[in-house]
Structure 1
Amino acid sequence: MLLNRNAVSQLEDVPIEAVKGRSLWADARARFFRNKAATASLFVLIALGLFALFGGLLAQYERDFVDFTLIGSNAYKGVPSIETGHYFGTDSSGRDLYARVVQGTGISLMVGIVGALVAVVVGTLFGASAGYFGGKIDNVMMRFVDILMSIPFMFVLILMLVIFGRSIFMLFVGIGLISWLDMARIARGQTLSIKNKEFVEVAVATGVHPLRIILRHVVPNLLGIVIVYATLLIPSLIIFESFISFLGLGVQEPNTSLGALISEGAEQMQYGLTWQLYFPIAFFVITIFAFFFVGDGLRDALDPKDR
């Protein structure tokens, strides 16, 4: 009893402001930063983003500048060198590879992030609406998703790029057609369980508009799985764009992406110009693995079963 009284007296001396709980997001943040691989990968992604944004300030040459004195002699004059200002060497056309890797990294990141953002917004709203309304509306909306998923979009995208022109805009259109479908199915499945919760039933009983319920009550409770899926979707879209660019149907000159640079570097391997492949593929691999590690860290941090 004496111990209990002492404990109570000690608690009474502690100000109420000092007794603070920790929210679920704060708990998830702490769990994420305990994951060393995910934390290191997050800093790597930040460094890659800064490289894509400000790396061009360190370039000694413009990405479109052609040094005609190097054409035909790249094997011994276009090697990576700090003295010449070609940090990553030059490509087969005599252009500075460092400046082109900066641009390629930025475009690849833009394709992945914008594509994932479109998938999250469209897929989450579509899937949450289907799951909340249910019944015939759910059946019609999800059968529409099934029909779209059955279409071989790789061939459709190739036809679109050939017919309407090879541009970044058409690449975004093609990627946007397929990136939101899986997100819609995931959001719909989660919404089916969320809409039976007490806070949703209270909102319905008080006459809140269904659209407001979806935006204010359902979608915020999907943020955990949405963030994880978006983080894992970004590298998939980067790989998809790189494959299209590797085929020569993606980003066109004078712009470039990591996939296009890898394609150009692979063609020069037989001539001994190995650096033209090694630098782009190194940035590509680092970017992909960093996103995957961050996605795994977020999945573990936001999993309520592991709390």
Structure 2
Amino acid sequence: MTFVDKDAAEERQGHAGHDQIAGRSLWADARHRFFQNKAAVVSMVVLLLILLFALFGGYLNEHNGQFIDFTIGGNLREVGKPSIENGHYFGLDQDKRDLYSRTVQGTRISLLVGVLGALVAVVVGTLYGAIAGYVGGKTDSIMMRAVDILMSIPFMFVLIILLVIFGRSIGMLFVGIGLISWLDMSRIARGQTLSIKNKEFVEAAIATGVAPMTIILRHIVPNLLGLVIVYATLLVPGMILAESFISFLGLGVQEPNTSLGALINFGAQNMAYGTLWMLYFPLAFFVLILTAFYFVGDGLRDALDPKDR
């Protein structure tokens, strides 16, 4: 008969579990902790559903792609109500167009502006801040003083001027919002680069004669990836808010295209006529997108923070 020491077995099992957890990579540990955050996971599912709605939602009704006026007579308050039987799931807008199709298009454009604007801001800001932090000296001082000067200029004022001078188009919104929003990212990237550039792997690359730009792209920027991902998810809602505000003023997306900000503007203008559905449906998608992005960004921040491990 073989006797087993239960205490020794439990101790070995505990050490094995500890070794398994300790051996998990940073990204695997971050993924594990992210999926333990219920609010972040639910928000990620909501964002996925909204993305599917923006891409394929138009195929769920017969008015997909029709943004011309519908020949519907009568009072909009009566004939424009949401109706599943008529295929107008969200009702009609002020010009008696299908609001469901308009909301699909508005969600798609708002997401495009937010994601592409954040992508431009992250790429430009990360490279700018990494170069300034790695080079240092007078170059760093000049580059960061330029950032300080640009940050003192009102963001919306510059964006409105760009749209007035170069034309009100979706492309100009992408470029204008993205190129103005990189300033905060550059300061964050510079601060992290200052703490990374004295690490052993960077000094080893310098000793072997690797070019400075190669060191920045292959060694500095990849180590900023976790921070960049978190900041990008928190930057997208800001981009969507900026686009919605510009469209609310009438300087953003122009007809026949639309965005959530423009739809909310039209809905607010027609509230007095009892057509509340024109405001509620676009506003619901707008609030869901912003809230979901903030929860996902908060979850990523907690998951990638080494102090919380």
Q: Which TM class, normalised by the smaller chain length?
A: over 0.9
CA drift at 1:150 = 1.5
Q: How far apart, CA to CA, are the structure 2 residues paired with 1:242 and 1:108?
A: 8
Q: How far apart, CA to CA, are the structure 2 residues paired with 1:255 and 1:19?
A: 51
Gap runs ≥5 in structure 1: none
Q: How far apart, CA to CA, are the structure 1 residues paired with 2:226 and 2:187?
A: 15
Which SS does the other structure have where 2:224 is aligned? helix
Label 1:264 to 1:200 Cα distance change in 2 as closer, same or farther (>3 A): same
Question: Alpha-carbon deviations, 1:100-140, whole Å to 9, x = none?
Answer: 00000000000000011111111101100100010011011
- Corresponding position of 2:68: 65
CA drift at 1:3 = 5.8
Q: May I ask how many residue pairs the two structures share in their alignment?
A: 298
- Corresponding position of 1:168: 170
- Corresponding position of 1:87: 89
**Identical-residue share of aligned pairs (%):** 71
Match for 2:235 among 210, 233, 236? Answer: 233
Of 154-163 and 289-298, more deviation after overlay is shown by 154-163
- Corresponding position of 2:292: 290
CA contact (8 A) 2:122 2:185 kept: yes
- Corresponding position of 1:205: 207
CA RMSD of aligned residues (A): 2.0
- For residue 293 of structure 2, what is the amino acid of its counterpart? F
CA drift at 1:157 = 1.9
Match for 1:47 among 46, 49, 54? Answer: 49
Which SS does the other structure have where 2:92 is aligned? coil
CA drift at 1:155 = 1.8
Q: How far apart, CA to CA, are the structure 2 residues paired with 1:124 and 1:19?
A: 32
- Corresponding position of 1:77: 79
Q: How far apart, CA to CA, are the structure 2 residues paired with 1:94 and 1:235?
A: 30
Q: How far apart, CA to CA, are the structure 2 residues paired with 1:190 and 1:171?
A: 29
Q: How far apart, CA to CA, are the structure 2 residues paired with 1:284 and 1:264?
A: 14
- Corresponding position of 2:36: 34
**TM-score, L = length of structure 2:** 0.92
Of 287-296 and 192-201, more deviation after overlay is shown by 192-201
- Corresponding position of 2:101: 99
Q: How far apart, CA to CA, are the structure 1 residues paired with 2:215 and 2:165?
A: 43
CA contact (8 A) 1:63 1:97 kept: no
Q: How far apart, CA to CA, are the structure 1 residues paired with 2:124 and 2:179?
A: 10
CA drift at 1:182 = 0.6
CA drift at 1:177 = 2.6
Q: How far apart, CA to CA, are the structure 2 residues paired with 1:51 and 1:192?
A: 43
CA drift at 1:68 = 2.4
Question: Alpha-carbon deviations, 1:269-305, whole Å to 9, x = none?
Answer: 0000000000000000000000000000000000000
Of 252-261 and 176-185, more deviation after overlay is shown by 176-185
Question: Alpha-carbon deviations, 1:203-253, whole Å to 9, x = none?
Answer: 111211111111111111101111000000000000000000000000000
Question: Alpha-carbon deviations, 1:16-51, whole Å to 9, x = none?
Answer: xx9993210000000000000000000000111111
**TM-score, L = length of structure 1:** 0.92
- Corresponding position of 2:250: 248
CA drift at 1:160 = 2.4
2:154 is the counterpart of 1:152: yes
Match for 2:280 among 269, 278, 281? Answer: 278
